[in-house]
Amino acid sequence: MEELINYTKFVLKPKEEILSSLKDEDNIFILSCGKCFKEFKEIPARRQLALAGGKEPECEEVAKILSEQGKRIVGCLPIDFLCNRTLTEKIISQKKEFSITNCLAVISCGIGIQTVAELTDKSRKDFYLRDKPVYSAANSIYQGGYHGMALYEEKCAACGNCLLGLTGGICPIVKCAKELVNGPCGGAKNGKCEVDKTKDCGWQKIYERIRTLGIIEKFEMVSPYRNYLIPDFKTRNTYNISLREKRYRNFYGGVYPYENKELSKNRSITSAPEPERVVIPLLQHTGLICEPLVKVGDKVKVGQKIGEGVSYISASVHSSVSGKVVAIEPQNHPCTKEKVMSIVIVSDGQNILDGSIKPKGKLENLSAEQIIEIVKQAGIVGLGGAMFPTYVKLKPPADKKIDVFILNGAECEPYLTADERVMIERAEDVIYGMKALMKALGVEKGYIAIEENKPEAIEKLRVTSYELRDNVEIVELKTKYPQGAERMLIKKILNREVPLGGLPFDVGVVVNNVGTAVAVAEAIKTGLPLIKRVVTVTGEKIKNPANLEVKIGTSFKDLVNFCGGILNENTEGGTYLLRMGGPMMGLIQEILDVPVIKGTTGILVTSAKDIKLDLSRPCIKCGRCVDICPMLLNPSSLGFYAEKENWQEMNTLDVMNCIECGCCDYICPAKRSLVEAFKLAKKKIKCS
C-alpha cells in the first residue's frame, strides 16, 4: 500500500459510532475525498483505483468494519475535491451502482459530507441519490484560519465531532445562529430565527430533512466539545457567499485578474508608421500553410494575393505594401519557436493598390454565397486570436441548422483594448459587418456581447444598432475571465451547452469577433483584403501605450519603438517579458524581431516575473485550479500525469477539452506551468 501523507483535516469516527449510526442500514456505498486533505506520494491512476473498488486505507477500514457486521458494501469511490458539487454530481451521475444503494457513508471533512447531502436533497428527481440518507464516517479537525473556505452555502465548523449523520447532512453549528447542537431553542417565529430574523431556523430545516429521510428516531441528544476560537458563522458565510456568487456568475469557474486596461483604453486608434519592410508568413490561420504565388524579384501591389490556401481550412495572404519581393524563406513567427516560410517585401513607399481592389456592391444586392466568397478571397480569419478561417464558419454542415449569431466584443484579456476602441470608433462598420455575416448565415437573430467594463462601447453600439433592435440585442456581461470564449458566451446568452469535443455549430450558433466584422465590412465596401488590423501596444514597461492600426508583416520592434520603447531596458535589473496577446493566453516572445500577423491582438511588455512557472514544483493540493476551471477539468490530476508523461491517462481525463485559458496557471499558488504541459500533451495525443 502506498505511503500516505495525512494532512489531518479529519479522523475516522470510532468504530462503535460508525456501527451505531448505520445499525439499521444495508446496501451501503462509501464515498471518500481524495483531496485536499491528503495525497499519495506515489499516486496510482485514480480512475483505476476507483474501478478496483476504491482501495484507499480509510475506505478499506470502514468497509471492513461494516462487512464484519454483515453489512453489504455496494461500492467504494474516492473523488478528488468532494466539496466541488459540480464535479461530484457529474461523477456520481455516471455510476449506476448508486441506483441500488440505500445510504451513503462519507469519509471527508464536513464540507464534503454536506455537499453529498445537498445532492441527495436538491438534485433532479431521476438522480440516483435522491432522498438517500448520508452518514458521516469522519470528524473534521480544525487547522486554524478559515477551515473549509468552500464555495457553497453549507460550511464546516471543524468542531471535531461531526453530527451530520444524525442531522440529515445539515450542520447545526453553522445553520443555527446560536450554534445549538441539542435541538431547537423554541424561539423561532414563522420559521425565522429570533436572533437573526433574515435567517431560517436551522433546526426546523434539520427536522424537515430527517423526517423526509425517516431517521428522526436516530437523533440523540449530544453535547460535543466546541472550539469557539473558530471564526463565527456570519464572518465565514459573508465571505463564502461573495465567492460563490462570483464563481457561478455567467458560467462556472473563471477568475478576476487585474485588468490594467486603463493604460490604453482611452487612447484613440492611430496609424502606425509605414513599414519599410514587411515579413508576411504564409501561415496566419488554423489549417495548412499557403503556397506562394510570387517569386523573388516580383513587384507586388497593396492587396495583391501572394499566398493561396491549398486546403479547405486555410486562408489566403495578401501584400500589405507595394514594393519588391526580396526573399521567400523561413522567418521568425510569433506563434511558434520554429521558423515559418514567409514572403519578405521591401516597400516602395507608394502604396499602389492592386487592380482587384474594388467595392463589391451594396450589401442588400449581395447573395449569401457572394458574401462568403468575398470573405474567402479576402483571407479573413478570426481576429480574436484563434485565426480560424471565417468563410468556413459561414458554411456549416448541412445537418447543422444555425439560428443565432453572436458578435464577440467581450475582450476579456487584461491589458488589451483594441476591440473596445474598434467598437467605439468604428461602430458603423461593426454593425455593417454583423449584418453581412448574419445574411451569409441566413439568421434573423443576433447578439453583441460586451463586458460591463466598456460602457462607452456599449452605448455607442446600442445607438448604432437601434434600427436593428428587433433582430440585434446588446448583451451587457458581468466582467469575468474567460468570458470571451465561445462556450462561455453561448452558455450565458442562450443557456445552450456546447458538447465536449463539439463546436458552436452543434447548438445552432456561430460566433465571430468584432474585429472580424470590421474586416468583412471593409472587404465589401472597398474590396480591401485583410492586410491590416488594430493592435494594442501596452504594458507597464511601454513608455506610451497605444492602439495602432498596423499593416500585417510590420515588426514588433518597430511598433514598440514607435510607442517610446521599453522603459529601463538598458538599466541594471531592467528585464522585461514580451508577449503577443494578453497575460493569460498570450504567447511569450524571445525577441522583438517577429512580424505582426492576422491574429496579433496586442503586444504586451511587462516586468519579468520574479518566479517562473515550473511543472516540477510540487502541487500543494489546494484544489483552486479545480474550482476555477471553466471546462470542469481537474488540472491538478492532469498536471500529475503530465509530470509522468502519461498522455493516455491525460486523454482519458479530457485534456483535449482544455481551452488553454490560463486560469489554472493564474490561480496556482505553487506556480506550476500547467497550461504549457497541457499544450504539449495535446500535441502528443494528436500525433499518437
What pLDDT, in 10s, does the model give residues 25-58? 999 999 988 766 444 333 444 444 444 444 567 7
Quote the CA–CA distance of 559 and 586 in Å, as a whole number: 17
What is the average pLDDT across 281-310?
95
- Band (pLDDT 50/70/90 cuts) for residue 243 is low
**pLDDT tens for residues 90-112?**
888 888 888 888 899 999 888 88
What pLDDT is attached to residue 127?
Answer: 65
What is the average pLDDT across 609-615?
80
672 in Cβ contact with 613 (< 8 Å): yes
Query: For residue 13, how many other CB atoms are within 10 A of its CB?
Result: 23
Task: Name residues whose C-beta falls within 8 Å of residue 362's C-beta, 6 or more positions apart in sequence.
Answer: none
Quote the CA–CA distance of 630 and 498 in Å, as a whole number: 13
Quote the CA–CA distance of 74 and 26 in Å, as a whole number: 9
Q: Rounded to the nearest 10 degrees, how much is the dihedral formed by the CA atoms of 637, 641, 644, 647?
A: -170
Cell numbers given for 69: 457486521
Share of the chain above pLDDT 90, in %: 58
Q: How far apart, in Å, are the Cα atoms of 500 and each of 302, 406, 626, 652? A: 42, 20, 17, 13
- Band (pLDDT 50/70/90 cuts) for residue 119 is confident
**pLDDT tens for residues 642-670?**
999 999 999 999 999 999 999 999 999 88
Query: For residue 294, how many other CB atoms are within 10 A of its CB?
Result: 17
What pLDDT is attached to residue 403?
Answer: 96
Quote the CA–CA distance of 182 and 220 in Å, as a whole number: 8
What pLDDT is attached to residue 158?
Answer: 64
Task: Name residues whose C-beta falls within 8 Å of residue 53's C-beta, 6 or more positions apart in sequence.
Answer: 75, 76
- Band (pLDDT 50/70/90 cuts) for residue 396 is very high
Name the residue among 666, 675, 677 with its Cα closest to residue 254.
666
Query: If one looks up domain 4-176+215-239 in CATH, what number appears?
Result: 3.40.50
Quote the CA–CA distance of 284 and 279 in Å, as a whole number: 12
Task: Determine which helix (DSSP H) or strand (DSSP E) holds 665, and give its type and residue range.
Answer: helix 663-667
Cell numbers given for 351: 502604396
Strands 317-318 and 305-308: what pairing? antiparallel
679 in Cβ contact with 588 (< 8 Å): no
Taking 90 as the threshold, does the pLDDT of residue 531 lie above it? yes
Taking 50 as the threshold, does the pLDDT of residue 4 lie above it? no
Share of the chain above pLDDT 70, in %: 85
Domain with CATH 3.40.50.11540 in the chain: 362-408+418-522
Cell numbers given for 203: 433546526
Task: Name residues whose C-beta falls within 8 Å of residue 687's C-beta, 6 or more positions apart in sequence.
Answer: none
Strand partners, 278: 345
Quote the CA–CA distance of 14 and 138 in Å, as a whole number: 9
Taking 60 as the threshold, does the pLDDT of residue 24 lie above it? yes
Cell numbers given for 216: 428522526
**pLDDT tens for residues 179-232?**
777 778 777 788 888 777 777 888 888 888 877 777 766 665 454 444 444 555
Quote the CA–CA distance of 415 and 289 in Å, as a whole number: 31
Strands 532-538 and 134-136: what pairing? unpaired
**pLDDT tens for residues 130-170?**
778 889 888 876 554 444 434 444 466 666 677 777 787 78
Quote the CA–CA distance of 98 and 104 in Å, as a whole number: 9
What is the average pLDDT across 383-389?
90
Task: Name residues whose C-beta falls within 8 Å of residue 600's C-beta, 6 or more positions apart in sequence.
Answer: 334, 533, 535, 550, 580, 581
Peptide bond into 335 cis (omega under 30): no
Taking 80 as the threshold, does the pLDDT of residue 408 lie above it? yes
- DSSP structural state of residue 401: -
600 in Cβ contact with 535 (< 8 Å): yes
Name the residue among 74, 94, 237, 234 with its Cα closest to residue 153.
237
Query: For residue 99, how many other CB atoms are within 10 A of its CB?
Result: 9
**pLDDT tens for residues 486-497?**
999 999 999 999
Quote the CA–CA distance of 109 and 287 in Å, as a whole number: 49
- Band (pLDDT 50/70/90 cuts) for residue 125 is low
What pLDDT is attached to residue 122?
Answer: 58
What pLDDT is attached to residue 574?
Answer: 55
**pLDDT tens for residues 578-605?**
999 999 999 999 999 999 999 999 999 9
Radius of gyration of the chain (CA): 29
What pLDDT is attached to residue 513?
Answer: 96
The b/e string for 191-207 (b: 16+ C-beta within 10 A; e otherwise) is eebeeeeebebbbbbbb
Taking 70 as the threshold, does the pLDDT of residue 128 lie above it? no
Q: What's domain 362-408+418-522's superfamily in CATH?
A: NADH-ubiquinone oxidoreductase 51kDa subunit (3.40.50.11540)
Average pLDDT, the chain: 86
Task: Name residues whose C-beta falls within 8 Å of residue 203's C-beta, 6 or more positions apart in sequence.
Answer: 172, 175, 176, 180, 183, 184, 185, 188
Cell numbers given for 275: 513599414
What pLDDT is attached to residue 594?
Answer: 96
* Grid cell 456549416 in the structure block, residue: 396
Can you say how many angstroms the Cα of residue 530 is from the centroid of all Cα atoms in its chain?
29
What is the average pLDDT across 70-84?
88
79 in Cβ contact with 35 (< 8 Å): no
Task: Name residues whose C-beta falls within 8 Å of residue 572's C-beta, 6 or more positions apart in sequence.
Answer: none
Query: For residue 545, how many other CB atoms are within 10 A of its CB?
Result: 25
Quote the CA–CA distance of 519 and 20 in Å, as a whole number: 71
Query: What predicted TM-score, i.e. pTM, was given to this entire model?
Result: 0.76
Taking 90 as the threshold, does the pLDDT of residue 297 lie above it? yes
What pLDDT is attached to residue 656?
Answer: 94
